[in-house]
Structure 1
């Protein structure tokens, strides 16, 4: 099970559902066959994380897609300056927005700028690289490395909780509906349980606002938002 499936499995156990099976249609090494779980063999349950996406005219991609590509590369670059010869260190704040092409040339430019700043670690500086900014601020002492990652700011994240959930629900519903379409007649009922990494658990007021918005067409009998922090905090979405 992946992390989201483990959270949903704990939720199903907490609800005392009987005969819960994980990947009931798994055939040998091919386990990418819906649903992710079944209850009593007649309810199919699909699982997914509910996350934010970046929208452009040409494509839609999860916000974390760039995070996973960009942040580890910068973090690795900063750690490459791990040298005790520096009397002081510099805190680094990463601020970025999309699009960014985090290729070798991009990281090379960052390294050149950081190399240059080694001469003046005791001063503050802001480095601009298109849609990415590095804010360098001197620490009061040495932290074991010339540069220490202090904060990461993704300027594309955030915004209103209800509007973000509504916008990203449309993407997730379409994706999951396409996945289960050819298997739909195998089960009497289909549920979609989304581990909510946008609100981390909707309030009653936010759920009322969300359910008052125009409905989407989809094939699921239940759509549930489940907090990744508390499996007892679940909200049923009437969309």
Structure 2
């Protein structure tokens, strides 16, 4: 199993699904026949990472190679502010470009700046840290935390959290639909589980925004986004 398949297998085990089989259609050395997993022999499950790529003349690398080190740390820092008393909230827009090193020194500076802004959540403010910029914008309603991740703008790609997921979902769903089409009749139901390296776990607010967008045509009965950081954080999208 690759890393994403291991994450999904652990998720299926955590959910206590019965008769989980890995690569049920494997034929000899040919392991590229869907699905990646089956449940009770009747549900076929395809697995993939939900990601973007950074392409230059010198190399091609997954954007999450940097994102995985940076975004979860900032998001975790923002969520830590749900443990304090607050009566206002602010959206935090993250804008960054490579190279960037999300080390302890940077995180200390971020926390100090966020602490200093707590008394001014109803005003806008922009913080600059070399190749990283945080923009705080007042929210019209009180959210789950004093700070809420509103958008991630990767200067090497760009886009808000929801729009990025929506754009990449279309590509991935079409890709996976083509792959499973020859095997559709072999299973009563098909699921697509995507390990989410864009938001690392959608909030209820973001999921509502995503589900309000026009749906795609496909044959999957479930499309699930699973956080690579938390097996308990999985959401089903209605696209």
Shift of 1:53: 4.8
Structure 1: where are the runs of 5+ without partners? 55-60, 72-92, 97-134, 136-152
Residues 212/16 of structure 1: CA separation in 2 closer, same or farther (3 Å cut): same
Q: Aligned residue for 1:30?
A: 30
**Superposition TM-score, scaled by structure 2 size:** 0.60
Alignment deviations for residues 117-162 of structure 1 (CA, whole Å, 9 cap, x no partner): xxxxxxxxxxxxxxxxxx9xxxxxxxxxxxxxxxxx9632343100
Instruction: Confirm or deny that 1:67 pairs with 2:36.
Output: no
Structure 2: where are the runs of 5+ without partners? 66-96, 101-130, 132-152
> 4+ residue runs of structure 1 moved beyond 4 angstroms?
93-96
Q: How many residues align?
A: 153
Shift of 1:27: 1.1
Q: Aligned residue for 1:224?
A: 224
Shift of 1:52: 1.9
Residues 94/52 of structure 1: CA separation in 2 closer, same or farther (3 Å cut): closer
What CA distance in whole angstroms lies between the structure 2 residues aligned with 1:188 and 1:17?
16
Q: Aligned residue for 1:179?
A: 179
Shift of 1:208: 0.3
Instruction: Confirm or deny that 1:41 pairs with 2:35.
Output: no
CA contact (8 A) 2:225 2:235 kept: yes
Q: Aligned residue for 1:160?
A: 160
Coordinate RMSD, CA, aligned: 2.5
What CA distance in whole angstroms lies between the structure 2 residues aligned with 1:67 and 1:31?
25
What CA distance in whole angstroms lies between the structure 2 residues aligned with 1:94 and 1:210?
28
